[in-house]
C-alpha cells in the first residue's frame, strides 16, 4: 500500500502517518533551522525592542480562490497584523485543523503557498501543530497562525493616535478580496477579472515608516472594509473624518460586480491594503513612499481628520452629496478570511 | 460600466442639484415609491443637495418590506416540512415572521437555500430530484415576469418537484390604496423605473389627472434621480400635474408587453395582504388554476394561525410615509441591522436600513 491520497484520522494520531505528514510535507516546505529541531518548544533570539504579537484563525471558504489560498492568506493576515503596530515580523507559528478526507494534494498546495508567502515576507515558521478531525467536524481545513515581531525602539503607531488635521491615505483599491471570495463562493460564474489582493504588507509599511516620522496609524482594512476600519480609528482617536468618495480607488471590475450584487466595496475585506494616517506636512511624502512600492502604486489621499464630531466618518459623495459612512453592522458575513 | 459612470458624473449631478435649488420656491414633498430609490438617495447623499423646500419621503416600494408577516409564516411552515427545500432571495431569510425568520429555522436544521434568480431555484430542483423545491415569489411587476419565466422552464422540463409560493404584489393597486387613505401631504411621486419598464406609464395617469399629483419615472443613478426631482419641482412650480419619463433609455410609455403577457399567462390578480397597508383588493398575484401543479399553496398545507407583528414596530407607518424611522422608538435601540425587528431594517432597500446606514446624523 502506498501513501494514502486523502487525510485520515491516523494522520493526527501522532504515529507513523503523522510523522510522514510532518516530515514529508510540512518540513519539506516550511522547514528551517529552528523548525527542523522538532523539539517541544522553539527557542529563538530577538533583536532589541518591544514585541508585537498577533494571532488569527483562518476558515475562508472556498480554500482556493483567485489570487491565493487559505495558506497564503494565513501568512499574510498575521504578518500584516503585526506590521500595523510597527512590528517587524520575524516568526510565525502555524496550527492546522484538517478534516478527514481532505485530499493530500490540496494540503500540499496550501502548504506550498504558505512557504512562498513566508519566504516573500521574510519570516520563519518556528513552531507548528496538526490535528485531524472527523468528517463534518471542520470544513476541509482551518489554519491558525500567530505572528511575532519586534517594534524598533522609539516607534509608536496605533489607532488611537490620529489627530485633527491628519491626512488619511490608502495604499490601493478597496474591496478586491471580499468581492473575489463572494463571487467564488456563490459560483456566480462571473467573467469579471477578479482577484484577491492578499499580500504581505511589511515591505510596503517599512517604506512609509522610514520616510514619515509623522506617521500615526497603520491599519489593514480587513473584515468590515475601509468604512469599518476608519470608524474604529475615529472612535479610538476621538476625531472625525471627512472622505472624498471620488478619491477612493476602486477597481472597475470590483465596482461592476458590486453594482450587480448590491454590495458596497467600502465594506468589503482587503487582505493586501493599508490605511495610513499621517501628519499633514508629510502627506505627500507618505503618498510617494507608498507609490514607490509595487503594492502601493495606486495609493491615494482620501480624506482628512477633524475635531468637530468625534467618532464620526463623513463622506462627500462623487455626486456632490454628503452622508455618514457608518460601521458595518449585522450584514451576514460569509467566511472571507 | 461606462453607462453607470456617465450618470454619476459629478459635473452633471452638481449642475442638476444647482438647478433644483434655483428652481424651487414652493414647499414640495415627494414620495419615492421604490426601495432602490430610497437607497440611491441615501447612499449618494442626495438629500444634502436638495433645498429646504424639497423633501423626499419613502413609500411602500421595497418588496421585502411589504411582504406580510403571514406570508413569512407560511414560508417558515414550508421550510419545516420534511422533504421541502425553500429557495429564496437573500434578504428575505432574515425577515422576522410571527415567531421565527427563515434564517433562524435554517440554523435549527430547516432546508433554506439562498438563490440569486428564480432560474437558480429551477436548477436546484433539477439537481435534487428527491426533494421538493419551493421558490418564494416576492416582488413587484419587475420580478414577477422572471418568476413566470422560471415557471415556464420548470413546466417545459416537466419538473415535478418545483413550485412557487407566490407573495407577489402589484404596484398600481397599492398606489390607489395609498391615495385613498389619510392625506399624506404629498406634492408628487418619483416613480420606479424598473416596474414602469414592465407595466408602462398608464397606471400613473389617474394619479396625475384625478389627484393633481405630478408623476415622474426615474432611473437609479444619482443623475437619473436628480433629473427626475428637477422635473417634479418644475411641475410643482408651474402648477402642473403630468406623467413624465426621466428614464427614457429604459422606459417606454407602453412598457414591455411581452413581459406582461408572460406574467399574465401564469398569474392572476388576487386580494393580498401588505405589511402596513393591510389587505388591498386585487393587489397580489396568485398562480392560475391550470398551474396548480406548480403552486406551492396548492401542493402543500400552508395554513397558518393569524400573524403576530412586533407591537412596537412601525414599519407600516414608515411604508406609508407617515413617519421617518427615527420616530420609531425601537430604531437604533432595539432594532438595528444585526437585530432587525421589522422588515424595513432587514432589506437592503428598506427605509429603516437606509436611515441606519446613511442618515443617522440627519
Ligand atoms: S426601526 Fe425597526 S421596529 Fe422601527 S419601524 Fe423600522 S424596522 Fe420596524
Residues B154 and B66 in one domain: yes
**Cell 423626499, located at residue:** B56
Shortest CA gap A250–chain B (Å): 13
Q: Give the CATH number for residue B96.
A: 3.40.50.11740
Q: Whose CA is nearest to atom 1 of ligand 1?
A: B331
Residue A139 sits in the same domain as residue A273:
no
**Residues A135, A215 within the same domain:** no
pLDDT-based confidence at B293, cuts 50/70/90?
A: very high
3-state secondary structure of A93: strand
Contact A293, A83 (CB under 8 A): no
Which of B195, B3, B163, B202 has its CA nearest to residue B74?
Answer: B163
Ligand 1 environment, Cβ below 6 A: B 313-315, 318, 325, 328, 330-331, 335, 341-342, 344-345, 352
Q: Do residue A181 and residue A298 come from a single domain?
A: yes
- Residues A227, A97, single domain; the answer is no
Residue with cell 413617519: B323
Q: Are residues B85 and B18 in the same domain?
A: yes
Q: How many CB atoms are located within 10 Å of the residue A186 CB?
A: 16
Question: What gap in Å lies between CA B118 and CA A330, rounded to an integer?
Answer: 26
The parent domain of residue B168 ranges over 1-308
Is position B92 within any domain? yes
User: Within a domain: residue B115?
Assistant: yes
| Residue A158 included in any domain | no
- pLDDT, residue B1, reads 38
Instruction: Indicate yes or no: CB of B45 within 8 angstroms of CB of A331.
Output: no
Q: Would the CB atoms of B48 and A323 count as touching at under 8 Å?
A: yes
Instruction: Give strand pairing partners of B284.
Output: B169, B270
Alpha carbon distance B351, B61 (integer Å):
10
pLDDT, mean of residues A3-9: 83
| Residue B362 resides in a domain | no
**Cα–chain-centroid distance for residue A293?**
17
What phi and psi, each to the nearest 5 degrees, are found at residue A70? Answer: -60, -30
- The DSSP code sequence of B328-362 is STTBTTTBBTTB-SSHHHHSTT-HHHHHHHH-TT-
Pick from B276, B331, B348, B354 the residue to mutate for probing ligand 1's pocket: most ligand atoms within 8 Å of its CB.
B331
B128 in helix, strand or coil? Answer: coil
Q: Which of A151, A177, A203 is the last residue of a domain?
A: A151
- Nearest to residue A58, comparing CAs of A337, A303, A277? A337
Q: Which of A98, A125, A151 is the last residue of a domain?
A: A151
CB proximity list for B107: less than 8 A, separation 6 or greater: none
pLDDT (mean) for A163-177:
97
Burial B153-175 (b: 16+ CB within 10 A, else e): bbeeeebebbbbbbbbbbbbbbb
Same domain, A236 and A123: no
Same domain for B296 and B350? Answer: no
- At B67-125, the pLDDT tens digits run 999 999 999 999 999 999 999 988 888 888 998 899 899 988 899 998 888 999 999 99
Q: How far is CA B78 from CA A192, B85, B115, B279, in A?
A: 37, 8, 17, 23
Instruction: Please indicate, yes or no, whether residues B38 and B182 belong to a single structural domain of this protein.
Output: yes
pLDDT exceeds cutoff 70 at B4: no
Question: What average pLDDT does chain B have?
Answer: 91
Check pLDDT > 80 for residue A331.
no
**A318/B contact by beta carbon, under 8 A:** yes
The pLDDT value given to residue A337: 57
Residues A258 and A125 in one domain: no
The neighbouring-strand residues paired with A50 are A151
Query: B200 and B335: one domain?
Result: no
Averaged pLDDT score across all residues of chain A: 91
Over pLDDT 70: what percentage of chain A? Answer: 95
Same domain, residue pair B158 and B196: yes
**How many domains are there within chain B?**
2
B339–A330: do the CB atoms touch at under 8 Å?
yes
> Can you tell me the distance from the alpha carbon of B82 to that of A304, in angstroms, rounded to the nearest whole number?
56
Per-residue exposure over A80-94, b if at least 16 CB sit within 10 Å of its own CB, e if not? bbbbbbbbbbbbbbb
Least confident of A21-35, B38-52, B77-91, B143-157: A21-35
Residue of B nearest to A318 (CA): B10
Q: Residue A329 falls within a domain, yes or no?
A: no
- pLDDT category, A189, cuts 50, 70, 90? low
In-domain check, residue B304: yes
DSSP secondary structure letters along B20-41:
HHHH--S-EEEEE--HHHHHHH
CA–CA distance from B309 to each of A67, A134, B74, B107, B323 (Å)? 46, 43, 14, 22, 18
Give the per-residue pLDDT at B273.
92
Provide the terminal-to-terminal Cα distance of chain A, rounded to the nearest Å. Answer: 37
pLDDT surpassing 60 at residue A279: yes
Radius of gyration of chain B (CA): 20
Long-range contact set of residues B253-256: C-beta below 8 Å, sequence gap at least 24: B253/B200, B253/B201, B253/B202, B254/B200, B255/B196, B255/B197, B255/B198, B255/B199, B255/B200, B255/B201, B256/B145, B256/B197, B256/B198, B256/B200
pLDDT of res. B250: 82
Selection from B68, B67, B70 nearest residue B306 by Cα = B70
Give the minimum alpha-carbon distance from A38 to chain B in angstroms, rounded to a whole number.
Answer: 42
From the CA atom positions of chain A, what is the Rg in Å? Answer: 21
For B37-89, give the DSSP string.
HHHHHHHTTGGGGS-TTEEEEE-S--HHHHB-HHHHHHHHHHHHSTTEEEEE-
- B320 and B194, same domain (yes or no): no
pLDDT at residue number B22: 97
Compute, in angstroms, the gap from residue B59 CA to the centroid of ligand 1.
Answer: 14
- Does residue A332 fall inside a structural domain? no
Residue at B190 is within a domain:
yes
Is A301 among the domain residues?
A: yes
B117 within a domain of the structure (yes/no) = yes
- Residue A51 has what pLDDT? 96
Closest chain B residue to A256, measured at CA: B1
**B110, part of any domain:** yes
pLDDT digits (tens, 9 = 90+) for B222-233: 999 999 999 999
Q: Other CB atoms closer than 10 Å to residue B98's CB: what's the count? A: 16
Same domain, B164 and B228: yes
Residue B356 contacts A, CB cutoff 8 Å: yes
A329 pLDDT band (50/70/90 cuts)?
A: low
Q: Which of A125, A151, A177 is the last residue of a domain?
A: A151
Owning domain of residue A183: 167-324
**Which helix (H) or strand (E) covers residue B172, if one does?**
helix B171-180
Q: What is the pLDDT of residues B176-216, one digit of tens each?
A: 988 988 888 999 999 999 899 999 999 999 999 999 999 99
CA pair distance B185, A43, nearest whole angstrom? 76
Asked if the C-beta of B107 comes within 8 angstroms of chain A's C-beta atoms, the answer is no
Tell whether B289 is covered by a domain: yes
Higher pLDDT, A189 or A293: A293
Q: Per the CB < 8 Å rule, is B1 touching A264?
A: no
User: Chain B within 8 Å of A189 (Cβ-Cβ)?
Assistant: no
Q: What is the CATH number of the domain that holds A86?
A: 3.30.1330.10
* Domain membership flag for residue A303: yes
* CB-based contact A326 B358, cutoff 8 Å: yes
Chain A, chain B: beta-carbon pairs less than 8 Å apart: 79
B99 touches chain A (CB under 8 A): no
Strand order in the sheet with B243-245: B54-58, B28-32, B188-192, B215-218, B243-245
* Cα dist from A280 to A142, A219, A283, B199, whole Å: 42, 18, 5, 55
- The pLDDT value recorded for residue B172 is 92
Question: Stretch A229-245: mean pLDDT, rounded?
Answer: 97
Asked if A212 and A276 sit in the same domain, the reply is: yes
Specify if A157 maps to a domain: no
Residues B59 and B182 in one domain: yes
Same domain, A13 and A137: yes
Instruction: For residue A110, tell me if it sits in a domain.
Output: yes
B292-298 long-range contacts (CB < 8 A, ≥24 apart) are: B293/B160, B293/B163, B294/B151, B294/B154, B294/B155, B294/B162, B294/B163, B294/B164, B294/B266, B295/B163, B295/B164, B295/B166, B296/B78, B296/B134, B296/B163, B296/B164, B296/B165, B297/B74, B297/B165, B297/B166
Cα B290 from Cα A274, distance rounded (Å): 59
Phi, psi of B30, deg, nearest 5: -110, 145
pLDDT exceeds cutoff 90 at B10: no
* Chain A contact for B336 (CB, 8 A cutoff): yes
Do B88 and B208 sit in the same domain of this protein? yes
Q: Is the pLDDT of residue A92 over 60?
A: yes
Q: Are residues A106 and A186 in the same domain?
A: no
A119 touches chain B (CB under 8 A): no
Residue among A266, A260, A281, A157 at smallest CA distance from A216: A157
Residues A233 and A303 in one domain: yes
What DSSP character marks residue A23? I
Strands A215-219 and A275-278, bridge-based pairing: antiparallel
Tell if the CB–CB gap between A319 and B44 is shorter than 8 Å: yes
Q: In this structure, are A308 and A196 located in the same domain?
A: yes
Percent of chain B with pLDDT over 90: 66
**How would you classify the pairing of strands A68-69 and A124-133?**
unpaired
Q: Let me know: does B264 contact B147? Beta carbons within 8 Å.
A: no
Q: What is the pLDDT of residues A215-226, one digit of tens each?
A: 999 999 999 999
Residues B79 and B123 in one domain: yes
H or E element, residue B112: strand B112-114
The per-residue pLDDT for range B270-289, each reduced to its tens digit, is 999 998 788 999 999 999 99
Number of domains in chain A: 2
Q: Which atom of ligand 1 is nearest to the CA of B335?
A: 2
pTM comes to: 0.80
Domain annotation covers residue A59: yes
- Which pLDDT band holds residue A326 (cuts at 50, 70, 90)? confident
CATH code of the domain containing A235 = 3.90.650.10
| Shared domain check, B319 and B302 | no
Strands (E), B122-223: 132-137, 162-166, 188-192, 215-218
Cβ pair A151, A85 in contact under 8 A: yes
Half-sphere exposure (Cβ direction) of A190: Cα atoms closer than 13 Å: 23
Amino acid at each position: 500500500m502506498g501513501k494514502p491520497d486523502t487525510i485520515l484520522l491516523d494522520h493526527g494520531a501522532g504515529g507513523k502517518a503523522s510523522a510522514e505528514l510532518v516530515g514529508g510535507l510540512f518540513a519539506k516546505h516550511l522547514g528551517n533551522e529552528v523548525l527542523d529541531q522538532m523539539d517541544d518548544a522553539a527557542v529563538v533570539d530577538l533583536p532589541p525592542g518591544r514585541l508585537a504579537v498577533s494571532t488569527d484563525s483562518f476558515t475562508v471558504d472556498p480554500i482556493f480562490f483567485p489570487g491565493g489560498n487559505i495558506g497564503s492568506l494565513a501568512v499574510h493576515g498575521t504578518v500584516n497584523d503585526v506590521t500595523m503596530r510597527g512590528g517587524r515580523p520575524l516568526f510565525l507559528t502555524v496550527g492546522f485543523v484538517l478534516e478527514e478526507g481532505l485530499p493530500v494534494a490540496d494540503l500540499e498546495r496550501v502548504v506550498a503557498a504558505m512557504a512562498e508567502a513566508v519566504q516573500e515576507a521574510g519570516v520563519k515558521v518556528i513552531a507548528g501543530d496538526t490535528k485531524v478531525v472527523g468528517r463534518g467536524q471542520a470544513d476541509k481545513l482551518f489554519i491558525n497562525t500567530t505572528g511575532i515581531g519586534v517594534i524598533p525602539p522609539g516607534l509608536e503607531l496605533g489607532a488611537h493616535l490620529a489627530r485633527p488635521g491628519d491626512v488619511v491615505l490608502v495604499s490601493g483599491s478597496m474591496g478586491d478580496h471580499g468581492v473575489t471570495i463572494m463571487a467564488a463562493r456563490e459560483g456566480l460564474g462571473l467573467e469579471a477579472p477578479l482577484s484577491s489582493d492578499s499580500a504581505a504588507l511589511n515591505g510596503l509599511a517599512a517604506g512609509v515608516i522610514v520616510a514619515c516620522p509623522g506617521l500615526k496609524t497603520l491599519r489593514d482594512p480587513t473584515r468590515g472594509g475601509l468604512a469599518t476600519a476608519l470608524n474604529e480609528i475615529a472612535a479610538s482617536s476621538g476625531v472625525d473624518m471627512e472622505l472624498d468618495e471620488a478619491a477612493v480607488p476602486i477597481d472597475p471590475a470590483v465596482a461592476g460586480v458590486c453594482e450587480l450584487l448590491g454590495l458596497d466595496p467600502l465594506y468589503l475585506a482587503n487582505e493586501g491594503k493599508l490605511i495610513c494616517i499621517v501628519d499633514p506636512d508629510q502627506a505627500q511624502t507618505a503618498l510617494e513612499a507608498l507609490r514607490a512600492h509595487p503594492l502601493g502604486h495606486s495609493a491615494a489621499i482620501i480624506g482628512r481628520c477633524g475635531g468637530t464630531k468625534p467618532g464620526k466618518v463623513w463622506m462627500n459623495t462623487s455626486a456632490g452629496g454628503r452622508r455618514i459612512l457608518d460601521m458595518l453592522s449585522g450584514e451576514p458575513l460569509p467566511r472571507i478570511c | 460600466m461606462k453607462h453607470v459612470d456617465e450618470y454619476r458624473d459629478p459635473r452633471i449631478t452638481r449642475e442638476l442639484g444647482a438647478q433644483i435649488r434655483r428652481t424651487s420656491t414652493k414647499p414640495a414633498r415627494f414620495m419615492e415609491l421604490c426601495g432602490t430609490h430610497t437607497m440611491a438617495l441615501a447612499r449618494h447623499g442626495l438629500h444634502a443637495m436638495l433645498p429646504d423646500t424639497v423633501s423626499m419621503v419613502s413609500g411602500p416600494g421595497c418588496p421585502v418590506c411589504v411582504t406580510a408577516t403571514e406570508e413569512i409564516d407560511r414560508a417558515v411552515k414550508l421550510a419545516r416540512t420534511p422533504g421541502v427545500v425553500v429557495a429564496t432571495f437573500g434578504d428575505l431569510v432574515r425577515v422576522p415572521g410571527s415567531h421565527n425568520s427563515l434564517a433562524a429555522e435554517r440554523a435549527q436544521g430547516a432546508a433554506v437555500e439562498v438563490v440569486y434568480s428564480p432560474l437558480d431555484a429551477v436548477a436546484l430542483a433539477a439537481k435534487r430530484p428527491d426533494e421538493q423545491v419551493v421558490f418564494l415569489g416576492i416582488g413587484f411587476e419587475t420580478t414577477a415576469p422572471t418568476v413566470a419565466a422560471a415557471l415556464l422552464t420548470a413546466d417545459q422540463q416537466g419538473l415535478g418537484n418545483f413550485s412557487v409560493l407566490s407573495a407577489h404584489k402589484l404596484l398600481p393597486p397599492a398606489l390607489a390604496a395609498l391615495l385613498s387613505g389619510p392625506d399624506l401631504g404629498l406634492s408628487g411621486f418619483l416613480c420606479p423605473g424598473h416596474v414602469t419598464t414592465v407595466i408602462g406609464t398608464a397606471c400613473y395617469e389617474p394619479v396625475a389627472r384625478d389627484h393633481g399629483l405630478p408623476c415622474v419615472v426615474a432611473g437609479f443613478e444619482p443623475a437619473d434621480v436628480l433629473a427626475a426631482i428637477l422635473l417634479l419641482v418644475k411641475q410643482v412650480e408651474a402648477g402642473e400635474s403630468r406623467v413624465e419619463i426621466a428614464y427614457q433609455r429604459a422606459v417606454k410609455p407602453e412598457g414591455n408587453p411581452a413581459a406582461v403577457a408572460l406574467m399574465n399567462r401564469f398569474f392572476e390578480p388576487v386580494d393580498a395582504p401588505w405589511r402596513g397597508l393591510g389587505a388591498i383588493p386585487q393587489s397580489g398575484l396568485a398562480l392560475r388554476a391550470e398551474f396548480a401543479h406548480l403552486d406551492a399553496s396548492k401542493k402543500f398545507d400552508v395554513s397558518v394561525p393569524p400573524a403576530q407583528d412586533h407591537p412596537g414596530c412601525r414599519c407600516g407607518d414608515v411604508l406609508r410615509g407617515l413617519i421617518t424611522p427615527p420616530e420609531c422608538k425601537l430604531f437604533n435601540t432595539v432594532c438595528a441591522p444585526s437585530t432587525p425587528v421589522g422588515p424595513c431594517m432587514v432589506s437592503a432597500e428598506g427605509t429603516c436600513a437606509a436611515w441606519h446606514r446613511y442618515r443617522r446624523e440627519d
